[in-house]
């Protein structure tokens, strides 16, 4: 019953099944409902672990492919599959959902509605990671939007409506751009040569076949690839969030309740990065290469800008939100270090680009573990004193020793301390940038100092110092056992990934090698327009 193929569908729809049964619970039975929802996330976690079992390590191509025709007249089919990239992200999402569910015991308002939306959100996320049909991918991408709007809107903080509508607006605008790109590629793939690959008339939404078409370079014209890439990149960059499109993140994080901002930071930001790796790059290799310098520049600016912004914040959660912007800048940086040598026209220093990609994937996983941890730590103190003003904290290490210890470890993971997960991602990405462009490499290395600056300053203001300066100090009680369990659940992967990063690299390396080679050949096959291909210094 649980073969590789059916497992993917099971993982997607188990949460919805649990959500459906939630309806029949009585409104008052809060505790059983929470346990039932927790059971849902635990089952999904086990299924994803089972999926790892099914995964054959050496092979980088798509595994467990299942394709059922859904809307035949438009060649749309319900197509799922996974490879090293999506597998690691699925396991991360299942884990973060499990931990956030544990942290949801603090929610008292409309518990049933909250849990149902929470589980539907999980379905949406899992669907995005498994979908291999562009239309199915878009449907799951937007399905995530509905529950997220309500989760922020109903259970959020004081300015929740503004934050919810802003989040909805940004993502919908991105979605519309992606829709246009979707249509462009649907009609673009209706040409006779495309017929050879897809085997049926009319356009195709199948991501694998579209990637093959892009790789031949003949079917999608360079102009279309550049236009397609810009549309897709903006659509995904809004989710990552990179520099110009990031202003929704601090509002959404500050207003969202703790478990939701844990999911927002842990999982939803990774969708942007995953989208770029799975769709934006393979579908328009030429566009990606032309925009590579701009991408790297945006990545570096995101790092520096995010770090400075974090330095300036007085709200603890907003500071952590900006740190996410800065950390996700590394992801974009790692993906885009694709240098083309004038002589051969092929990728120069391909190993460094592969290292950058692996670093970016690892950074996504590491940030996916450390940033929910950071938000949880902020949440623990917020649930007690109900304020987040950095200057009004202090002396917590005396009052809550265990909590401060754990928080210090998590924040040091965010800082990029060796031995913890943050370090590997950052350093590998920074090391790989030198091959691409020296100036940007130095600037991105500078980011390391800023990160240390704002995190240590925040730690000093919150945890060190003689005594607690903020309102109702009597509420500060040591960590409950549940919170401690969550703390340990987050710290253990931090340490494990930091000490032995091959947990991730074993899986992602083969798939990324395959991706890097297809992109490289895709770029070489595309006929360059008459202008001489100017390469970046």
Partner 1 sequence: MESLGNRLSTLLAIAWLLPLFGFVVEVFAMSWPNANRKSKAAAYFAIFCIGFGFVCSSIAFYEWGNGTDWAVFKAVDHGHGEAATATEHGDHAAVGHADHEHKAVTHETPKQTVFAGTFYNLAQFGNLKVSLDYYIDSLTLAMFVMVTLIATCIHIFATGYMAEELVNDYVDHQVHTHDGGHFHRPGRFYKFFSYMSLFCFAMLGLVLAGNIFQVFIFWELVGICSYLLIGFYVERHSASTAANKAFIVNRVGDFGFIIGLMILWTSFGTFSFADQHGTDGKVQPGLFSMARGHDGELAKTTDGKTVVLKTEQDGHGHWEAPAEPSHQKTITYTLLIVAGLGVFGGCVGKSAQFPLQTWLPDAMEGPTPVSALVHSATMVAAGVYLAGRFYPMFVPEVLLTIAYVGCITAFVGATIAIVATDIKKVLAYSTISQLGYMMLGLGVGGWGAGLFHLVTHACFKSLMFLCSGSVIAGCHHEQEMPKMGGLLRKMPITALTMLVGVMAIAGLAIPGTSIAFSGYHSKDAILATALAYTKLNPIHFLLFVVPLLTAGITSFYMFRLWFYTFLGKPRDQHLHEHVHESPWEMTGPLLLLAVLAAGCAIGGEDGKLFKMLTFSQPVGVADGVDGAAAHTVSLPGHTAIHESHSTAGSAALLAAFIGMSISYLVYGKGVINPADIKRQAASVHAFLANKWGFDDLYDVMFVKPAHVVAKFAAAIDKFVFDEILHTFVRMGIAVSKWDRKFDEGVIDGIVNLMGNSTYSLGISLRNVQTGKIRQYVTFIAVSVVTLFVLLFALYPKG
Partner 2 sequence: MNEIGLLVQRLLDETTKTSVGLFVPELVLSGTIVAMLLCRILPLLWRVPAQWIALLGAFTAFAWTLCQFDQLVGGTMQPTPIFTGLLMFDQFATFFRMFLCLFLILTITLTVLSGIPDREDGPDFYTLLIGATLGMMIMSSANHLLMVFLGVEMASVPSYAMVGFLKGRKKSSEAALKYVVYGAGAAGVMLYGISLLAGLTGTGSLPEIGHRLSMIVSQGAGISDPIVRTIVLASLMVLVGLAFKLSVFPFHFWCPDVFEGAAAEVAGFLSVASKAGAFALLVRFGLAFSGGSAAVSEIAFALGIGIGVLAAATATFGNLSAYGQTNIKRMLAYSTIAHAGYMLMAVSALMVMKYSKHGGAESTAATLSCIEGLIYYLFVYLFMNLGAFAIVALVRNQIFSEEIEDYNGLATQCPLLCFGMALCIFSLIGLPPMGGFFAKLVIFASVFKATSVHWAMWFVLGAGAINTVFGLFYYIRILKAMYLKPRPDGARKVSYDLMPVGLFVLMICLPTLGLGILPARFTETFNNVASVLLTGR
Residue 352 in contact with residue 436, Cβ under 8 Å? yes
| 176 interface partner picked from partner 2, partner 1, none, CB below 5 to 8 A per type | partner 2
What string of DSSP letters covers 366-401? HHHHHHHHHHHHHHHHHHHH---BGGG---HHHH-H
Task: Say which residues have a Cβ less than 8 Å from residue 376's Cβ, sequence separation at least 6.
Answer: 99, 103, 258, 262, 410, 483, 486, 487, 490
- How far apart, in Å, are the Cα atoms of 529 and each of 53, 190, 518, 526? 46, 22, 20, 9
Q: From partner 2, partner 1, none, which one binds at residue 449 (CB under 5 to 8 Å depending on kind)?
A: partner 1
**Least distance from C-beta 247 to partner 1, angstroms?**
5
Stretch that binds partner 2, among 154-162, 238-246, 315-323, 466-474 (CB under 8 A): 154-162
Q: What is the rounded distance in angstroms from the CA atom of residue 326 to the CA atom of residue 174?
A: 21
Site for partner 2 (CB under 8 A): which residue of 30, 38, 62, 154?
Answer: 154
73 binds, among partner 1, partner 2, none (CB under 5 to 8 A by kind): partner 2
3-state SS class at 257:
coil
Residue 172's binding partner among partner 2, partner 1, none (Cβ under 5 to 8 angstroms by kind) is partner 2
Instruction: Compute the distance between CA of residue 145 and CA of residue 122 in angstroms, rounded to an integer.
Output: 11
The phi and psi torsions of 254 (rounded to 5 degrees) equal -65, -40
26 CB contacts (<8 Å, ≥6 apart)?
Answer: none
Cβ 430 to partner 2 shortest distance, Å: 38
Distance CA 260, CA 345 (A): 46
Nearer to partner 2, 128 or 515 (CB): 128
The Cα–Cα gap between 214 and 283 comes to 6
Rule CB under 8 A: say whether 509 interacts with partner 1. yes
Q: Which does residue 143 bind out of partner 1, partner 2, none, counting CB within 5 to 8 angstroms by kind?
A: partner 2
Residue nearer to partner 1 on the CB measure, 126 or 361: 361
Member of 70, 308, 434, 457 binding partner 2 (CB under 8 A): 70
From partner 1, partner 2, none, interface partner of 398 (C-beta below 5 to 8 A by class): partner 1
**Residues found in the chain:** 537
Phi, psi of 370 (to 5 degrees): -80, -35
Q: How far is the CB of 1 from partner 2 (least distance, A)?
A: 24
Cα dist from 55 to 3, 48, 211, 445, 487, whole Å: 11, 11, 22, 36, 29
* Smallest separation (angstroms) from partner 2 to the CB of 473: 31
Q: How many CA atoms lie within 13 A of 225 on its CB side?
A: 31
Pattern 79-118, partner 2, x by CB under 8 A: -------------------------------x--------
- Residue 191: CB atoms within 10 A of its CB come to 14
Name the token pair of 364.
């996504």
Do 88 and 365 contact (CB within 8 A), yes or no? yes
Least distance in Å: CB of 414 to partner 1?
13
Interface characters, 439-478, with partner 1 (x: CB under 8 A): --xx--xx-xxx-xx--xx--x--xxxxx-----------
**How many DSSP H helices and E strands does the chain contain?**
24, 2
The one among 247, 341, 477, 480 contacting partner 1 by CB under 8 A: 247
Nearer to partner 1, 196 or 485 (CB): 485
- Identity of the residue, 339 or 367, whose beta carbon is nearer to partner 1 in the bound complex: 339
Minimal distance in Å, beta carbon 150 to partner 2?
A: 6
Token pair in block for residue 522:
């895709």
> Does residue 160 bind partner 2 (CB under 8 A)?
yes
Tell me the number of residues near partner 1 by CB under 8 A. 60
Distance CA 396, CA 458 (A): 12
- What is the number of alpha carbons within 13 Å of residue 280 lying toward its C-beta? 30
Is residue 139 within the footprint of partner 2 (CB under 8 A)? Answer: yes
- Helix, strand, coil percentages, rounded to 5, for the chain: 75, 5, 20
Residues 6+ apart with CB under 8 A from 304: 326, 443, 446, 447, 450
Please pick, from the candidates 95, 150, 236, 245, the single residue that binds partner 2 as defined by CB under 8 A: 150
Contacts to partner 1 from residues 338-377, by CB under 8 A: 349-352, 354-355, 358
Binding span for partner 2 by CB under 8 A among 158-166, 386-394, 432-440, 516-524: 158-166
Q: Which residues on neighbouring strands pair with residue 80, listed in sequence order?
A: 66, 131
Summarize as ranges the residues that interact with partner 1 (CB under 8 A).
Answer: 166, 169, 244, 247, 305, 308-313, 349-352, 354-355, 358, 395, 397-398, 401-402, 405, 412, 417-419, 423-424, 427-428, 430-431, 433-435, 441-442, 445-446, 448-450, 452-453, 456-457, 460, 463-467, 500-502, 505, 509, 513
Catalog residues that contact partner 2 under the rule CB under 8 A: 69-74, 110, 138-139, 141-143, 145-146, 149-150, 153-154, 160-161, 164-165, 168-169, 172-173, 176, 179-180, 183-184, 186-187
């Amino acid at each position: 019953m649980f073969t590789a193929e059916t497992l993917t569908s099971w993982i997607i729809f188990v949460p919805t099944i649990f959500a459906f049964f939630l309806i029949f619970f009585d409104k008052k039975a809060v505790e059983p409902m929470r346990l039932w929802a927790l059971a849902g996330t635990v089952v999904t976690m086990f299924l994803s672990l089972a999926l790892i079992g099914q995964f054959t390590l050496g092979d980088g191509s798509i595994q467990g492919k299942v394709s059922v025709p859904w809307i035949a007249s438009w060649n749309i089919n319900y197509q799922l599959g996974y490879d090293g990239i999506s597998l690691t992200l699925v396991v991360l999402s299942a884990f973060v959902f499990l931990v956030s569910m544990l942290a949801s015991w603090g929610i008292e308002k409309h518990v049933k509605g909250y849990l149902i939306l929470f589980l539907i959100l999980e379905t949406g996320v899992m669907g995005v990671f498994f979908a291999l049909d562009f239309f199915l991918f878009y449907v799951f991408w937007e399905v995530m939007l509905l529950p997220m709007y309500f989760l922020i809107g109903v259970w959020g903080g004081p300015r929740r409506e503004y934050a919810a509508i802003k989040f909805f607006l940004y993502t919908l605008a991105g979605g519309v751009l992606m829709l246009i790109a979707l249509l462009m590629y649907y009609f673009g793939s209706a040409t006779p040569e495309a017929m050879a690959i897809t085997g049926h008339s009319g356009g195709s939404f199948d991501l694998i076949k579209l990637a093959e078409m892009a790789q031949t370079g003949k079917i999608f014209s360079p102009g279309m690839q550049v236009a397609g890439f810009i549309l897709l990149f903006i659509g995904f960059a809004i989710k990552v969030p990179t520099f110009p499109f990031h202003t929704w993140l601090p509002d959404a994080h500050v207003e969202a309740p703790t478990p939701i901002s844990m999911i927002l930071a842990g999982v939803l930001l990774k969708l942007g990065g995953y989208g770029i790796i799975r769709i934006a790059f393979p579908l328009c290799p030429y566009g990606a290469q032309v925009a590579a310098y701009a991408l790297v520049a945006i990545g570096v600016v995101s790092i520096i800008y995010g770090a400075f912004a974090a330095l300036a914040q007085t709200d603890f959660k907003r500071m952590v939100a900006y740190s996410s912007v800065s950390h996700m800048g590394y992801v974009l940086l790692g993906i885009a270090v694709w240098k083309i040598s004038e002589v051969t026209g092929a990728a120069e220093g391909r190993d460094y680009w592969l290292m950058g990609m692996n670093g970016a994937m690892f950074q996504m996983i590491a940030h996916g573990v450390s940033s929910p941890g950071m938000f949880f730590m902020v949440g623990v103190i917020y649930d007690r004193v109900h304020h987040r003003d950095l200057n009004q904290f202090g002396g917590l290490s005396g009052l809550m020793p265990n909590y401060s210890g754990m928080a210090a470890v998590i924040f040091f993971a965010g800082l990029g301390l060796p031995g913890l997960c943050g370090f590997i991602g950052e350093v590998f990405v920074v090391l790989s940038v030198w091959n691409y462009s020296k100036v940007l490499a130095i600037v991105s290395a500078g980011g390391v100092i800023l990160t240390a600056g704002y995190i240590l300053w925040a730690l000093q203001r919150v945890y060190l110092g003689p005594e607690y300066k903020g309102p109702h100090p009597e509420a500060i009680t040591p960590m409950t056992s549940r919170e401690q369990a969550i703390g340990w659940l987050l710290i253990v992967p931090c340490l494990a990934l930091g000490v032995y990063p091959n947990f991730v690299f074993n899986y992602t390396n083969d798939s990324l090698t395959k991706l890097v080679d297809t992109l490289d050949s895709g770029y070489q096959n595309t006929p360059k327009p008459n202008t001489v291909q100017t390469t970046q210094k």
